[in-house]
Every structure is written in C-alpha cells, then in structure tokens.
Structure 1
Amino acid sequence: MSPGSYASWSGNEKDRSVLIKLFYPLFRLPRTQKRLVQLLADVVLIIFSFATAMLLRLDSLAFMTQPEVWLVLPVMIPVSLLIFIRVGFYRAVIRYMNQKAVKAVLAGVAGSAISLAVINVLLNLPVPRSVPFIYAMLAMLTIGGVRFFLRAIYLRGQLRHKTRVLIYGAGSAGRQLVVSLRQGHEYEPCAFVDDAQGLHRAFIEGLKVYPPQAIPSLIDNYGIQKVLMAIPSSSRARRREILESLEPLSVPVQSIPGMKDVIQGLAKINEVRDVAVEDLLGRDPVPPDATLMGANIRDKVVMVTGAGGSIGSELCRQILRQGPRQLILLEVSEYNLYHVEQDLLGLLAREGLSVPLKALLGSVQHQARLEAVMTQFGVQTVYHAAAYKHVPMVEHNVVEGLLNNVMGTHACAEAAIASGVEAFVLVSTDKAVRPTNVMGASKRLAELVCQALGGESHGTLFSMVRFGNVLGSSGSVVPLFRRQIEAGGPLTVTHPDITRYFMTIPEAAQLVIQAGAMARGGDVFVLDMGEPVKIAELAGQMVRLSGLEPAFPDRDEVIEGQENHRQGDIEIVFTGLRPGEKLYEELLIGDNPGATRHPRIMTANEVSIAWREMRQLLERLLEACYRFDYPALRELLLEAPTGYQPTGEVEDLLWQAQQAGHQTEDLSADQTARVVDLRTRKRSLMG
C-alpha cells in the first residue's frame, strides 16, 4: 500500500463493509466445503474463459450454436481439475497465498491450456489454434485473479482488527518479523525504515524501505499505530539514539527479542516487547575478562548468600558458566530458594552444564549453621549478597535491618575464617556513602567489618564491591513505572530533582566477580555506573515511548507544595522524599579512586578501624538491638565512622508505637531476664 492509500481506503468504508459482508462467510466454511466451492468455481471459470477466448478470436457469437466446439469441455475440464489438484492448487489456503501459490496457478493454467490444445488436435474440433493462448491469459486473470481478490478482501477485513506497524530495521530480523506478523492476527506491517542508504526505496517482502527522516510522514500517510524496532544486534548506544529520535512521536515504540534468545528457543521473533530500559540508558557493557571471571570460581566450591535475590541469583548464573566444582545456594526465603534452584537447573539443562547444586535454607545470622555448611562442603569462595536493601523498609524495621546487614555479615565473615574460605566478597551499595538512612549506615558498617577482618592475619581474603541501583531488581522503579503506565497512571516520583545511578543486573554481577578476583585484602571496589539518571526524565521517556504524553506539574509549584499539572495523558506526581532518602547518591567517600586492570572497576581508599575497636562497637550494637534501644542505636550509628547523617526522627514502627503508647523505657523483669540470656548467647557468638 502506497502512502496516501490508507486514507483513500478508509474513505470507502461503506464499500469495504459491503464486500466483507458478502464474501466473508466463505472463509468460515470447513476446509472440505471450501475445496468443493473452489472446484465448482473453477469449472465455471474454465467455461467462461474458454467462451470468452472464442469470442475474442472469432469476434462473433456464431460458435455458441456449434455443438462440436463444446465437445472440448467434457474432456478439458476433468483434465484441468486433475492438473490443478496435482500441482497443489487446492492445498493452498487463500488467505495465506504467496509466491509459491502464484507458481501453482501458472503451472495449473498452463497445463489446462496445453490440454485444450491437445484435445483440439486429437478430436479435430473447429477451435482456432490461437484460442489456447488467449484462454491461458484469460484463465490466469480469472482463476488466479479471483483467488487474490478474495485474499485481498480477507486481509482488508482483518485490517480492521490489526495494529498498523512500522518496522525499524530492514535486516534479516526485520524480514523475519514481517513474515511472522503476516501469519498472525495482531499486527499489519506497512513499511520499513532503515539507516542504510543503499536500502532506501527498495522493496523487501513487498514493503518499501524509507529513511528515518520519513517517519513522521509515514505515521500520517499509513495510519501507523506502533513502531517495532527490529535491530537486535545494534549497540545500546545506537538504540538509545534511535529511541531519542522516536520519543517525540505520538506512537508507542516496542522491540523484538534479541537473536540469541530466539536461537536458544527462549523467545519467538514475533514476541513484541516493551523497550528495555537498558536501551534508554544506552551504555554498552565491557566484555568480561575471562581470567578474572574464573579466578575465584573455576574448579572451586562457591557459596552465594542471598542466592534468591536479584543480585544473588544473577551471581549464581554467572558463576555456573565459569565451571565451579560445586555451587552452594544459601537463602532464608523458602520460596526464593525454590525459585532460584529451578531457574538454575533449567539453565544447566539449556546450556549443557554439569555443576552440582546444593540449595540450603538458612539465615546469615546463624554463625554455627554457616560454619557447618562451609566446612562440610569445603567452600573456597563466598559471595555475600544477603541483605535487606529497601531503604524505607529498613528505616521502619531498624533492629532487624542492623541484625541482618551488620551482624549477619559479621557471622558470615567469622564462619568463613573458621572454615578456611579463601575469598570473601561483600556486595555493598552506593547508599553506604555518607548515608542518610539506616540501610546505608548498616551496609557501611558491614564494609567496616570486612575491612577490619581483612587487616587481621588469617587465610581469608576480604573485599567489598560497591555499586548503585540495578535495573529490574526487587523494588526497582522501572517495573513500578511500567505497571503504573498500564494502569493509566499516575506515575509516582519522589522529587523533581532525584537522580540515581543504574546498571543492568548481568553487568553488575560480572563486575562483582571480576572485582573480587583482584582483591589483596580489605579492598573496597567501586563500579563505574556511568552517568546518573534523573528519575523524572526517565518516567517521561517511558510514557512517551508508550505513545502517550506525560503531564508534569510545574516544578516551582511542586517545591511550594502545589501541583497544577500541565495537559497530558498520564500524570507525573511528586510524592516527596521518603524517610532516609537522598536526592543524589554517591559512590566514593573520598575523591581519590584508584584504577585497576578493568576499565569499569576502581578502588577506593576508605576510612577503616582496627578489629579490636570494631569488635567493641559490634558488642554494643548487638546489646542495643536486643534491648530494642532505638536512641542508643542511633547514637552508635552516629558514633561509628560511617558518615551517618539522619534527616529526621527515628522512623521504626515499633519505636513509634511505643512512643504513642507512652511506654516507659524501663524493662520489665521478664524482658530483663531475656536480655541477660541474650547477652550470654551474644558472648558465645562473638567468641
């Protein structure tokens, strides 16, 4: 369909409806009845084509009264039908007719015309010798034309229910996509767009290829309702450029799966997906260093704590591909452990790997359990990813956050030392830098634990890897925005100026593994997260690429507490910073990062304290946790060299409930006895 034809076809809506109503019942008949209808129609068309050929040749109707002329039909019709059946004429489904069907029509009509000529000669009938040639041309127009006419009627009928799409990318993926979409009932490909000048004005799969500059006019001329990106092999940087050019348009943009997923059977070429946010960020990952990837893993027993989490599960996938002798999964959530185990077993089967998996339930706070596991299985490398990471959740559950993130790290590290583990890698966060929330302070304390133990003389090599947000993790803003867009909005952003660093989960996991392989003892590694992303701008991009227009409130009015939205399809609502939330995240405490052999991994020279001092701090912290003494916990976090700078009062829900009930800070006799018992257990745990 050429530009402009969409409008003309739409203008003849009444005529189109009449044709569809007239012929559409034919497409609903059973296959046997359809073939019978085709046979009867072909008999009529053969007779009509023969009679018309005689009329054109003789320019007279006198032959109509000559019985011997018609003697050719009782023989020619059965022979023609047998030829049609032989060449597969009636096996082709009219709605899916293609070039092969055209060849079948040509072969069938040619065979019918030859049979006419042979019968005429054998029976010496009064049929001019040029009639078979005229008949062949007419039969091609009638027998073939009727079929293609019905196919066009069917497709026009389907067009009312199909989404008209523009394919960006005329390469092999784009061609496969067009063929696949034409077999379905959801999308109607209308044209190609491609950057390659050599393809412009060419026709591929019957569609014309246009330059990217023509997209706005193509949307108007073809009535385009969606743009599908079929460029799976292009770099993220290039996809980002394309998305930025498509963002102002009033149509949604989606993409097809990567060819790797299609080849591995994980996806189909016609599975249209929302644009990956990685494409919006536009940073291409650096190929991993094979030596670093395998240094702490290959032929070793590896353990991952928090294996069911976003980072932990991806660490497990990357570890399996490096050929460990055995992989130990430790997870406190039964559901998450089951889920990650099934996922990893599927990966092993798909990729033909043979690595024993051991899925173990357990808390990182249970040092005896950890030590038993590490000793029994001979663990050599530990990736400690278990932690509570959701800022408001930890802010509302201070004691559990500190026990899990700080004391859990300490228990895990001590168990590693006692079991002779070779390498211990702590997965940290950018929120540990000058933290304004308990979660960040707890992760900085966990770093201090590993730094202090790294300075002691034992066989375990400690290191920490610090990075920002990962895309697609639990609690990530991206899936939240997607759900809010699907629900029609509004999109909730805490502040107009809030920014965050983002990295894909696979890239983060690979860099954690490579950083751990470069450790010398007590190292703090920082990952290069690229440029920070403004969350409000990310929300706007996601809305625009969904074919809608975001409605932002005026920034000055937001700051003054008013939100008068501009016009748009989906509102962007600013809800205010949550407890402990920062506008800007940082990756370094100091300003002197050191380079490493990997371009995206730096070392940080951070403040640390001796183990004796750290141990005393842990004892006081643990006792305050057991007493639920929230003021003491805050004082300890402020006293420790974490850089903790709280922005408000204690937000712990239990503490607030106690304050609301005017409960005394004095403990009851039962609580006092329980604390004494816990102190005894604490001393046992602390050695």
Structure 2
Amino acid sequence: MIGGAGSIGQAVTKEIFSRNPKRLHVVDLSENNLVELVRDIRSSIGYIDGDFRTFALDCGSWEFEAYFRNQERFDYVLNLSALKHVRSERDPYTLMRMVEVNILNSIKTIELAIETGVKKYFAVSTDKAANPVNMMGASKRIMEQYLFKYADQIDISTARFANVAFSDGSLLHGFKQRLEKMQPISAPNDVRRYFVTFKEAGQLCLMSTIFGNTREIFFPKLSEELHLVTFSEIAKKFLKSRRLTPVECTSEDEARSSVERLAAEGRWPCYFSSSDTTGEKDFEEFFTENEEVDLERFATLGVVKNPHSRSPEKLTQFLEDIQSMKKRMQWNKEELVQAFARLLPEFAHKETGKYLDGKM
C-alpha cells in the first residue's frame, strides 16, 4: 500500500486489515500518520496472523526501490499517494511536485510492479479527472493515460470518487479546525460537490482492486439531485449538527470580529461568497459523454469501461517536455499548462489569477 497513511489510504488499509491478509505493508512519507494508523488499527481491529508493517518512505526514492525489490513478490500494489489540492496551482514548483507525485511516481511504481511480477496494480484517481479544468484533475487524467498504456503488461484499474468528507486538508476538515480555534467558517456558495465517507472511499478502492477488469475506472453511483450540494449548505448542516446556529456575515472582517460574541449565544459566524479562484469547477462529474459507462453491473457503483490511452508518441513527448524542464532547473506555470494541453486537448484550464490561499 503506497500512500497508505493519508485519509483515504488509512481507510483502505483498515478495510484490507479487517480481512486478515497474509501480508500488508504500508508505505507513506508521513511518519506521524503511520504511527497514528498503527495506533488506530491496534485500538480498533487489533491484530492479524499475517505480516503487517509500515515504512516511512518516498515511493519515488531509491530507498523505496531497494525495499520493494528485496521483498517477496506482492500480489497487489495499491497506490493511494496524491497531491490533491487545487490550491497547489499557485506556483510552478508545487505544480512540478504534483507532476512528480501524481504522474512520474505512478509510472515508476507500475514499472517496478511489472518487473517483480505483481498481479494487479491499482491507483486512485479523482472525479476532477473528468473534463478537467484544474491542474490537479488534469494530472490525474494524465496518470490514467499512463495506467492504460501499461495495462497490456499488468492488470490495472482505478477509481474516481468524490470529496471524502472531513479528510485531512479538506474544507470540511477545516470546519472542525475553525471551531476548535474559535474562528469563523468560510465557504463558497456556488460550488457543488459530491461527498463520500471514509468507509465508502475505502470500499470503492478495494472493489476496483478486486473486481475491476484491466483498464476499468470505478466511481460511486450518486444522484445529482440528492448528493450534489454546495459547500455553504454543508457548512450550515455541520454547524447545526454541533447545535450552533449559522449567522451569515457580509465580510471576512465582520466574521472574524464576531466569533466570541456569537459563540456565547450558541451561534457561529459564516462568510459565504462566490468562487473566483483558479481551477474551481462549478460542479463535479465522474465520467464524460465520450466514455463508455456501465451502470448495471453494481447497485451502487458505475464503471467506465475500456478507456484508451493517448498515442504512445504523445505520452513520450509529455515526459520529454517534463524532463527538459527539470534538467534546466527552470520552468513556469504556462509551460506546464501547455504541456498538459498538448496531451489533453479537452483540458479547459480555468485561470483567474486568484488562488485559495488568498481567501479566509
């Protein structure tokens, strides 16, 4: 399990652990998250007879390669690592890190899996990969293209899913942080998103790994009418679940200055505004009109069937473009956007010049 100590990774790890595997190794950059993962598992599920171990490693490093090559062959490799924030669009260096994590590390680990005889490779994607408007979604769309390129050599499947409610770094997780720190809640009132629970995310990844045919993309079969909601609506429901009455403010300053007074009355200040930041999509979708979709195989899951990758020449050219930028140790955001667009003609990058870090 790569990236197994993140929010989604922990959910998948616990799903696998609870099924008593013969061997479960979890790799993640975050030593602290790995510690919490072990504590959580020991305190909830307990122990298994199999070999359960964790490793604080970067899957793109030579240390990881040495570790992987010196293990008995794994049956499955699940890659849950990702840079997942749209706010990572703010500078070219973070964007290149996104390319490294979401695309290049996936290629490295797939090639390692093929060389060592792994049976199945799974990598997590995102709903933002369908008709992407931001670099994060486009990077995962490109990752999908490379997955399908290698699907002739190893069974590969993936999953696109919605926002995982209260996952680390998510806006909903931020709501909890704001309450703990006696700070107002801020959210866009015009951006609609799907949400799934940790358990649903973990089960979706495991279903795709076990039941997905090669080149298939699993996604949750959610109703737009019932499940596509705005962040401001979620914020209000969250506060009401804490027995707090949301109070809408007209500015960030008003919201910041009224926390203590309103909190003493069982109320909480909120600042809701329209979205004007780079890469924000008004709504999320799991597949495009050009993709073949099976909605009958499972009651709660849909499947994108047999999507094809871009031409080998375009995939090779993309890697050459990225390596050229890295070699000269200098690049800008426009170059990266253009490299993405050459590989993904459907990429409709939404650039406004404003970023989430500029908001409360």
For residues 395 and 588 of structure 1, the distance between their equivalents in structure 2, rounded to whole angstroms, comes to 27
SS at match of 2:55: strand
| Aligned match for 2:281, one of 578, 582, 592 | 582
The residue number in structure 2 matching 1:336 is: 33
| Letter of the 1:408 counterpart | N
Question: Could you tell me the TM-score, scaled by structure 2's length?
Answer: 0.83
Give 1:467's match in structure 2, choosing from 161, 166, 173.
161
1: CA distance, partners of 2:130 / 2:70: 34
Cα pair distance change 1:324/1:615, threshold 3 Å: farther
The match for 1:535 is 231
Query: Is 2:92 the partner of 1:391?
Result: no
Q: Which runs of 5+ in 1 are unaligned?
A: 1-303, 653-687
The superposition leaves residues 373-400 of structure 1 with CA deviations (integer Å, 9 ceiling, x where unpaired) of 1552311101110111122035431111
Equivalent position of 1:481 in the other structure: 175
Aligned amino acid, residue 432 of structure 1: A
Instruction: Summarize the Cα distance change of 1:577–1:625 in structure 2 as closer, same or farther, 3 Å threshold.
Output: farther
Cα contact 1:503–1:529 (8 A) shared by 2: no
Superposed CA RMSD: 2.8
Give distance in 2, aligned partners of 1:633 and 1:650.
Answer: 16
Q: Report % sequence identity.
A: 24
Which amino acid letter does the alignment assign opposite residue 286 of structure 2? L
1:377 aligns with 2:72: yes
Counterpart position of 1:498: 191
Q: Which residue of 1 aligns with 2:150?
A: 453
Cα distance change of structure 1 residues 374 and 424 upon mapping to structure 2, 3 Å threshold: farther
Mapping 1:120-269, distance limit 5 Å:
none
Over 3 Å counting, the alpha-carbon distance change for 1:486 and 1:357 in structure 2 is: closer
1:595 and 2:295 matched: yes
Q: 2:302 corresponds to which letter in structure 1?
A: M
Q: State the secondary structure of the residue aligned to 2:190.
A: coil
Q: Secondary structure at the match of 2:137?
A: helix
Structure 1 residues 612, 338: CA separation in 2 closer, same or farther (over 3 Å shift)?
Answer: farther
Q: Where does residue 522 of structure 1 map in the other structure? A: 215
Q: Which residue of 2 aligns with 1:318?
A: 15
Q: Is 1:307 the equivalent of 2:4?
A: yes
SS of residue in 1 equivalent to 2:71: helix
Q: Secondary structure at the match of 1:322?
A: coil
Which of 307, 314, 318 is the equivalent residue of 1:617? 318
Counterpart CA distance in 2 for 1:422 and 1:385 is 17
- CA deviation digits over 1:161-202, x for unaligned, max 9? xxxxxxxxxxxxxxxxxxxxxxxxxxxxxxxxxxxxxxxxxx
Report if aligned partners of 1:471, 1:505 keep a CA contact under 8 Å in 2: yes
Kindly indicate whether residue 103 of structure 2 is the aligned counterpart of residue 410 of structure 1. Answer: no
CA contact under 8 A between 1:403 and 1:622: conserved in structure 2?
no
Indicate whether 1:512 and 2:221 are aligned.
Answer: no
In the superposition, relative to structure 1, how do residues 360 and 544 fare at CA in structure 2: closer, same or farther (>3 Å)? Answer: closer
- Report the Cα offset of residue 608 of structure 1: 2.2
Higher relative contact order (CA 8 A, sep 6+): 2
List runs of 5+ in structure 2 lacking aligned partners: 256-261, 356-360
Matches within 5 A, 1:35-184: none
Instruction: Specify the code of the residue in structure 2 equivalent to 1:588.
Output: F
Distance in 1 (alpha carbons) for counterparts of 2:127 and 2:220: 10
Corresponding residue for residue 269 of structure 2? 571
How much has 1:308 moved relative to structure 2? 1.1
Any idea what SS the aligned residue of 2:322 has? helix
Q: Which has the higher helix share?
A: 1
User: Distance between the aligned counterparts of 2:43 and 2:60, measured in 1?
Assistant: 30
Distance 1:306 1:483 in 2: 23
Q: From 332, 335, 339, give the equivalent of 1:632.
A: 335
Q: CA deviation at 1:367?
A: 6.5
Shift of 1:472: 2.2
> How far apart are 1:469 and its partner, in Å?
0.6
AA aligned to 1:358 is R
Q: Deviation of residue 522 (structure 1)?
A: 1.5
